[in-house]
Structure 1
């Protein structure tokens, strides 16, 4: 007979989920006043440019991080003429040094070079910067404070041939003199273009850190549910006696941990333990695997939990899919309500429990 203690499975699930999510590092460069901080706050969770911790890594570059957000922003200044040569040399040394680290989590993975649209010109410093960066990492040109293109994007593309793409963005609403309101634009496209060039091993981290594209979080999470459902079906390939149903529980725990990580919710042992225990039976952290399995089976009409009953591959897959998709649905609704910022642990647990009960 198989049984588990929830707290043991949670510890392993946390380690696996955070390892699979990894970390992404983005270099953002541009002259003073181009709107880098506003762009960072518009794209990423946690008002990162405002509330993140910054530490200098070169004289003109600081690394911005924040607890529970799996991204480092390398904010580069000093593109003005007086400091440019020093900035360019220091940046190249920084990138090459980090590339030598055998752990790709320490590499810089992509660069955004920001140019303000209202300046209507690409300076030699920006062109040289893109050329240097493109020798090592993908570069995206970002035209900030976009109002009227008037052919400027095409000019930027021509003058920055080494950039993978050029995206026009407006990070925040802007009211014109006549009262007309310009809405934010281009943020979704910038996320899409960045996802195309970020290494696969960093894509879950970028998905988690950004708050613009909820569909991206959902798509990546659906893949996790599909993999977990397949694993559950394999476990039930030979029908499992209900008394041994706890062997599929680690799959469910790992699935929830990975989805939580992809959505960018702070992932802790206490949260994950309480999430699983409370939504199934309201029990505490020592709840046994068979108790969890009994609660999960209630999600699938007709699955049965009677003594002597067995769980087939089809039932195991259905239970896993129902559990995972309900969690994705819950997080999606909450993130829509919070405009991309992580909701509280208490709100997630309450809403997930309510959604599960509504589907039984």
Structure 2
């Protein structure tokens, strides 16, 4: 296959696989409730890596309810308790929820974060009424305390909070009125969070716990969408990606059951590009809108493993001038792992997506990667 053919390799299998995966995973919709200045935008940005009002397409649905979304994530921004409204907060929230119920199925709320400034000493009655309204509508509610000031023990390294806040948390877990009578507060849990340390730096604390609790409360058919949308827990994404890599490597081995000449290595390209497209969806990468068609075609050539096969095949003992099933499996698996690592770097903002073509050379598998995979396959691992 000549160089001109290489330069025009069709990236369609990559793009099709990405779109199909997005359709399969769907969208996770989170409602974030809280008053002005409570820190909703900072919280969403810390967990999902995007600003609340800049998630994507979005318009006000009704007064007090705004919806923003992209492929994997939808954010309902709902007003919290504010002084001065002519309606009670519960009435306004009820109207917003009624409007949301009229929206399409892929915009319906799955989990609610009810955000409260940690410097408050207790919830006000209108806030309790709003939480009750959300729970009555069938939504699991996580009460998120924001802007927590943590103190770190210099000896043990453990973090703690001030007694006033600890007392507030105790009250939230077993709320009582001023006479000591129990109050019904239908929340699933209380999570203490900060998006920055006391010096305004760092990644904050409590966010991992918030992400884990949100996943646990998500509907089963939306858990993968949430894993895709969040940017804090990379192991979740690897757990989703590795079965895709194994399946593609197995398919490549089947395609090379009759050994392929190295010159025909691009026969495996649709399998490998489909694998990479599905992995891209897991890392919420939208290459189609960020790279030109020609750049995508050239990247597809680099990613497909054909050039790597040319250089490796001569070094693999006993391989000769063909790609057999063992080599095809190993090459595809190693390519998938390299692509997954690169996607992680783009996903976490360490590599700009426009530089992905030049960066691929640092993540494409080398001789040692492929030989190790071959040895693992022979040993049944």
RMSD: 3.4
**Structure-1 separation of matches of 2:338 and 2:215:** 26
TM-score norm. by structure 2 comes to 0.74
Match of 1:158 among 171, 174, 189: 174
Q: CA deviation at 1:329?
A: 1.9
Matches of 1:138 and 1:6, distance apart in 2:
45
Alignment match, 1:34: 38
2:159 is aligned with 1:145: no
Task: Establish whether residue 6 from structure 1 lines up as the match of residue 30 from structure 2.
Answer: no
Larger Rg: 2
Work out the CA distance in 1 between the residues paired with 2:251 and 2:220. 22
**Which residue number in structure 2 is paired with residue 257 of structure 1?**
277
Of 210-219 and 250-259, deviating more is: 210-219
Shift of residue 163 of structure 1? Answer: 2.3
Q: Distance in 2 between matches of 1:169 and 1:20?
A: 32
Deviations 1:45-71 (A, max 9, x none): 233446755521121111124xx5632
- TM-score calculated relative to the size of structure 1: 0.77
Q: Which residue of 1 aligns with 2:206?
A: 186
Deviation at 1:110, TM superposition (A): 1.2
- Who is 2:153 aligned against? none
Higher mean C-alpha deviation, range 53-62 or range 322-331: 53-62
* Counterpart pick for 1:321 among 308, 333, 343: 333
After TM superposition, the structure 1 = structure 2 runs for residues 311-350 of structure 1, keeping only pairs within 5 Å, are 311-312=324-325, 314-335=326-347, 340-341=348-349, 343-350=351-358
Listed as ranges, the gaps of 5+ residues in structure 1 are: 283-291
CA shift digits 1:234-272 (9 cap, x unpaired): 545x44544765554222112211222222222317468
Alpha-carbon displacement from aligned partner over 1:91-127 (angstroms, at most 9, x marks no partner): 33134334xx4x4x23222111111111121223333
Unaligned runs of 5+ in 2: 150-160, 176-183, 369-381
The residue that corresponds to 1:61 in the other structure is: 65
Q: Is 2:119 aligned against 1:118?
A: yes
Is 2:131 the counterpart of 1:130?
yes
Between the two proteins, the alignment pairs up a number of residues equal to: 332
Deviation (angstroms), 1:131: 2.9
Q: In structure 2, how many angstroms separate the alpha carbons of the residues matched to 1:202 and 1:303?
A: 47
The answer to which of 124-133 and 21-30 deviates more is 124-133
